[in-house]
Amino acid sequence: MVETSWTHTTVLLNEAVDALLNNPDAEAGDTEAGTHAYVDATFGRGGHSRLILSRLAPQGRLIAFDKDLDALAEAATIKDPRFSIRHQGFRHLGELPHASVAGVLLDLGISSPQVDNPERGFSFRFEGPLDMRMDTTRGISVAEWLADAEVDKIAEVIRDYGEERFAGAIAKAIVARREERGPISTTTELAQLVADTVKTREKGQNPATRTFQALRIFINAELEELQQALEASLQVLQPGGRLVVISFHSLEDRIVKQFIAKHSRDEYDRRDPFAAPKIMQLKALDRIKPSAAEVAANPRSRSAIMRVAQRTAA
């Protein structure tokens, strides 16, 4: 069921769709980008998808992906024969036919309704079950994982995915609490435990911010899925097709930046200097951040970075 009381403001809405569609090189001599097929690999609450559809020609097509049941319910309200959605994460992007789409959009942020709905367990600001799964029909919750995970593994996850310098102390506190009073089951329990453990923090940042980010990324395998989707984009994009990725933290953006850089140059095999190089597959086009006006209107957009690349003819 979609909760209408939780609203979502799409970040870099016009910029992302402009980058995706305003592409006269999508096909040689074809300036009507809206006639092709595109992918919104993270439907969310449909902000990008609706704008894309409004700009597609009658013969255009939009394929969306999302794991979230509420996102699927929202997608069901779109009565447009050009639109379809798959109940899958974007790691399944590679299942589309080879060179079948003219653009792929990845908006990596979680939606405001996901954060603001206490039942989803994403936020330390609200009392709710410690879940954090994007797809509540499969996998285990954060609470279930923390109930059995070893202290070293917990510390590794919080350190690597949250870049938290107090990861070891937090992990020990979680396990000590588990042994004394049983597993942590709610968001506020975990937030308070972290606050009691982390004595210093950047001004204006809740002590639990990095821990919650780390556990969410880990339980949903977000970085692994991103890497898989980026590789798949090379297969499904047509020559001249656009890859547009909006990330919200440094771990995501680093993966996207390095992926584009790697595929934006010819690669030579040092073991075989006479072999023909592997020709570049992408051309980096742009790096865009939200305007001051957008950040003022939607503070959650402040960390967003959008990178744009174009599939080469190779």
Helices (H), the chain: 13-21, 47-55, 69-75, 112-116, 142-146, 151-162, 167-181, 187-197, 209-219, 222-236, 250-262, 292-297
> Which class for 240: exposed (0-12), middle (13-18), buried (19 or more C-beta within 10 A)?
buried
pLDDT at 273: 63
- In which order are the strands placed within the sheet that holds 37-40? 83-86, 61-65, 37-40, 101-107, 237-247, 305-311, 282-288
Residues 52, 36 contacting (CB under 8 angstroms): no
**Residue ranges matching CATH 1.10.150.170 in the chain:** 136-219
Q: In whole angstroms, how far apart are CA 253 and each of 104, 199, 250, 260, 303?
A: 16, 29, 5, 11, 10
What is the 8-class DSSP label of residue 97?
P
pLDDT at 176: 97
Provide CB contacts within 8 A for 269, sequence distance 6+.
Answer: 275, 277, 278
**Residue ranges matching CATH 3.40.50.150 in the chain:** 13-112+222-311
What's the full length of the chain, in residues? Answer: 314
User: In one letter, which amino acid is 311?
Assistant: R
User: In one letter, which amino acid is 100?
Assistant: S
pLDDT at 31: 47
pLDDT at 267: 61
pLDDT at 277: 59
Distance, CA of 188 to CA of 62 (rounded, Å): 40
The superfamily in CATH containing domain 136-219 is Putative methyltransferase TM0872, insert domain (1.10.150.170)
What would the two tokens of residue 36 be? 């092709």
Distance, CA of 49 to CA of 300 (rounded, Å): 20
pLDDT tens, 58-81?
999 999 999 999 899 999 999 999
Fold of 13-112+222-311: Rossmann fold (3.40.50)
Residues 115, 123 contacting (CB under 8 angstroms): yes
pLDDT at 7: 59
Enumerate residue ranges in the chain where pLDDT < 50: 1-6, 25-31
Q: Which of 223, 303, 285 is nearest to 255 (CA)?
A: 223
Residues 212, 123 contacting (CB under 8 angstroms): yes
Cα torsion angle, 293, 294, 297, 298, sign: negative
Residues 68, 135 contacting (CB under 8 angstroms): yes
Buried/exposed code over 216-233 (b: 16+ C-beta within 10 A; e: otherwise)? bbbbbebbebbebbbebb
Indicate left, alpha or beta for 46 from its phi (over 0: left) and psi (-120 to 50: alpha).
Answer: left
pLDDT at 271: 66
Q: Which of 283, 286, 279, 205 is nearest to 249 (CA)?
A: 205
pLDDT at 6: 47
Q: Give the phi and the psi of residue 31 in degrees, each rounded to 5.
A: -105, 5
